[in-house]
Amino acid sequence: MMRLTDAMMLAYTKLRTRKIRLFFALLTASLLFSVLVAGSLIVSGALTSLESFSKEGFSNRYIVAGMYQTSTNNDSVLLKPELIARAEQLEKADIAAKKAAAKKLNIPYDDAAIPSDSRAVFNDFKGDKSINTASKFGLQAIEEAQSADPNKSTLEKFKKQVGAANHFYTGVTRAPFRIDSPALTLIKDGEEKRNTDGSMGAGGFGMGGGSSAGLKTVTSEWSLLDKELLQPFVLKGQTLDVGSDGSLPIVTTYTAAQEVLKLPKLSADASAKDKKARLEQVRSQIAGKTFQVCYRNATSSADLQNAIQQQDDLKRNTGKAGYEKPRLVYAPSSTPCGAPVIVSDTRSSEEKTYQQRQDQFDRQFGKVDAASQLVTFRIVGVTQDSPFSSGSSGGGMFNASEAVSMLTISTLGVRWVSPLSVEAQSVPAQDVFKRLSANIFGFSQEGYFAEYSDAPTARTVLSTKTCRSPYGDPAAEGASKVPICSANGSSFMLQPFGSASLAIDEFKHGFRTAQLWAALVIAVFASIILIGVIGRIIADARKETAVFRATGATRLMIAQIYLVYTLYLVVLIVLVSLALGFGAALALNSAHSANAGINMALLFNVEDLSKPFLFYHLELYDLGLIAAAVLVAAIVGASVPIAGNIQRNPIRDMRDE
């Protein structure tokens, strides 16, 4: 080996040959690596900033959420002969009881009048039977079967699955469907705005929701969470207790908060300054603001629907020949959330007596009295609409802050949340969140949460104790890394919750893997380019190499000169890549940092709205990885021509002149 300084001097002369070819080769390789640099800087920057914001929200808490998963195919549940038989048996008993009661009350009852879509069991055209989940008896049969399931979703089962944790919490979402579903209707401008979007709730804790985040979504997306999980989102001066006026505390979405304050929607291209001012305004004004919804139980809801229908019929048919006005006519109450009022009653005494007997019959077979109530919600906190919502920003082609939000399942994951404690103090809450025993279509109302003291423990639990969803993954139940999925298929799917810490941690792991693959792919392309340019440089210098060999250079020394030359290229590529990558990251930062900072402040309930969100951060690991990738590419790119060169006969190269 020759002295390094001498090798550097001789290698440096190579940089001065084939300048144009070298320039374009270096530029191409640098551009390739600059993609890696920019990606690493931006993602590292976003993650670092995200972590920094996250620490102020959930105080760096490591929480794992568990959603009950049924691995049993619902179709097979609905086709189970024993359940079908049980549903038919229940229905048959009910019909028999009703017939007896009807006879006793002297009212007619004909089970043939039961609509087919209300029967306990469907019969298809082939004669095959399946349980009707819209039927009380179909559901009851499933409930009975599942309540016997030893792995039924309970906090105890969750604890058993995840092992010891610092704290356990619970949350509840609305039922996806039930026969006696209550209805919530937003009261707006003193009127009951009928909700027509059904009663389907959000997908569950941490699952995100739809794109709309307005005030009306409270009627379908109201959820309950343990107080401890809500606390970080509570605004100053607010408490999570039910108010002395009966108002229920709720954490709302940012969009809904603006709606409550009657603030005009900011345009999609509003400046960061405007957004910041809006956030400050919302935070200072929203605390303690109230809004109302009307709660109606299933009976009240049906009564109101009947009254509305009657009024519509009257409007359409009054004056028409042959139209006979109903003898008992209802109309919706002029009082918000009031019971429908009788506007005319021309029934005979016999008809009234008959109706009394019919009501007695209905009550005997489960019909509850109509109940409705105004529910006042008191806004105690605000959170980002949803990490997956585009409604907040007006939906541009690309919104960096939303992209960053999507890096992680952050914040509460659900949009309207009250503390779990309100359930005991509010009849409407008790009805809305009434648990279904039957677990249909994989939906679970209850979610459980385990909090750990450190990220590694939580990550281990997440990776080793989760039960992957069996849907679309036939191997999930058999995979060795999924030890908990029980034979009868009930278990919990685990995912990070609340604090972005775990999600960021998980994302980091994924990002590192992707980064390594990207580095490898880019290194392969770069090495191909470098083989070309280094090969050309070496070929051009064959006579020089021959002279060096004639004047005492060993093969190793020749290789050393070209390896040092390669290192020069590495340094140049790294420097240019860093410059280009930093340029790209700074450009992105300049364009989106301010907006992202505001969005993150909202997302993590950060008080300091001037806290910066940076899209660049250089970690030594990233720098090392990029340098290593360039080095590997260059060494591979150089080794092929070097190996060929040192094997050459110097005499032949000199003869070629």
Question: Which residues sit at the interface with another protein, rule CB under 8 A?
Answer: 2-3, 5-6, 9-10, 12-13, 16-17, 543-544, 547-557, 649-651, 654, 657
- Unique residue bearing structure tokens 């609409």: 385
Minimum distance of another protein from residue 479's CB (angstroms): 57
Instruction: Using alpha carbons only, give the angle 287, 292, 294 rounded to the nearest 5 degrees.
Output: 155
Minimum distance of another protein from residue 10's CB (angstroms): 7
How far from each other are the two terminal CA atoms of the chain, in whole angstroms?
Answer: 29
Output DSSP code: residue 368. Answer: P
- 337 and 294 Cβ atoms separated by less than 8 Å: yes
Residue 12 or 24: which CB sits closer to another protein?
A: 12
Single-letter code of the amino acid located at 126:
K
Minimum distance of another protein from residue 654's CB (angstroms): 7
Minimum distance of another protein from residue 650's CB (angstroms): 6
Minimum distance of another protein from residue 554's CB (angstroms): 4
Residue 516 or 556: which CB sits closer to another protein?
A: 556
Minimum distance of another protein from residue 646's CB (angstroms): 10
Residue 13 or 166: which CB sits closer to another protein?
A: 13
How many CA atoms, within 13 angstroms, populate the side-chain half-sphere of residue 345? 8
Residue 81 or 552: which CB sits closer to another protein?
A: 552
Q: 328 forms bridges with which residues in the sheet?
A: 345
Residue 553 or 614: which CB sits closer to another protein?
A: 553
Q: 3-state DSSP helix/strand/coil percent for the chain, to nearest 5?
A: 50, 15, 35
Minimum distance of another protein from residue 652's CB (angstroms): 9
Residue 543 or 617: which CB sits closer to another protein?
A: 543
Q: In this structure, what are the phi and psi dihedrals at residue 167, rounded to the nearest 5 degrees?
A: -145, 150
Residue 440 or 533: which CB sits closer to another protein?
A: 533
Residue 93 or 556: which CB sits closer to another protein?
A: 556
Residue 10 or 234: which CB sits closer to another protein?
A: 10
Residue 104 or 655: which CB sits closer to another protein?
A: 655
Cα gap 469→490, rounded to integer Å: 10
Minimum distance of another protein from residue 9's CB (angstroms): 7
- 604 and 54 Cβ atoms separated by less than 8 Å: yes
For residue 564, CA distances in Å to 3, 13, 536, 642 come to 11, 11, 16, 12
The length of the chain, given as a count of residues: 657
Residue 433 or 562: which CB sits closer to another protein?
A: 562
Cα gap 654→329, rounded to integer Å: 114
Minimum distance of another protein from residue 17's CB (angstroms): 8
Single-letter code of the amino acid located at 197:
D
Minimum distance of another protein from residue 640's CB (angstroms): 21
Which residues touch 619 (CB under 8 Å, ≥6 apart)? 40, 44
Residue 508 or 555: which CB sits closer to another protein?
A: 555
Minimum distance of another protein from residue 556's CB (angstroms): 8
Classify strands 248-253 and 372-383 as parallel, antiparallel or unpaired. Answer: parallel
Which residues touch 189 (CB under 8 Å, ≥6 apart)? none
Instruction: Using alpha carbons only, give the angle 606, 607, 613 rounded to the nearest 5 degrees.
Output: 50
For residue 154, CA distances in Å to 166, 174, 471, 573 come to 18, 17, 22, 58
Provide DSSP, 254-307. HHHHHHHTTPPPPPTT--HHHHHHHHHHHHHHHTT-EEEEEEE-HHHHHHHHHH
Minimum distance of another protein from residue 562's CB (angstroms): 15
Burial class (CB in 10 A: 0-12, 13-18, 19+), 162: buried
Residue 489 or 650: which CB sits closer to another protein?
A: 650
Cα gap 292→218, rounded to integer Å: 10
How many CA atoms, within 13 angstroms, populate the side-chain half-sphere of residue 102? 11
Residue 77 or 564: which CB sits closer to another protein?
A: 564
- 545 and 17 Cβ atoms separated by less than 8 Å: no
Residue 3 or 126: which CB sits closer to another protein?
A: 3
Minimum distance of another protein from residue 538's CB (angstroms): 15
Minimum distance of another protein from residue 563's CB (angstroms): 16
For residue 126, CA distances in Å to 101, 135, 208 come to 35, 21, 40
Cα gap 644→637, rounded to integer Å: 12
- 175 and 466 Cβ atoms separated by less than 8 Å: no
Residue 215 or 546: which CB sits closer to another protein?
A: 546
Minimum distance of another protein from residue 591's CB (angstroms): 44
What are the CB-based long-range contacts (under 8 Å, 24+) for 194-202? 195/219, 195/220, 199/174, 199/175, 200/176, 201/173, 201/174, 201/175, 201/176, 202/173, 202/414, 202/415
Minimum distance of another protein from residue 60's CB (angstroms): 57
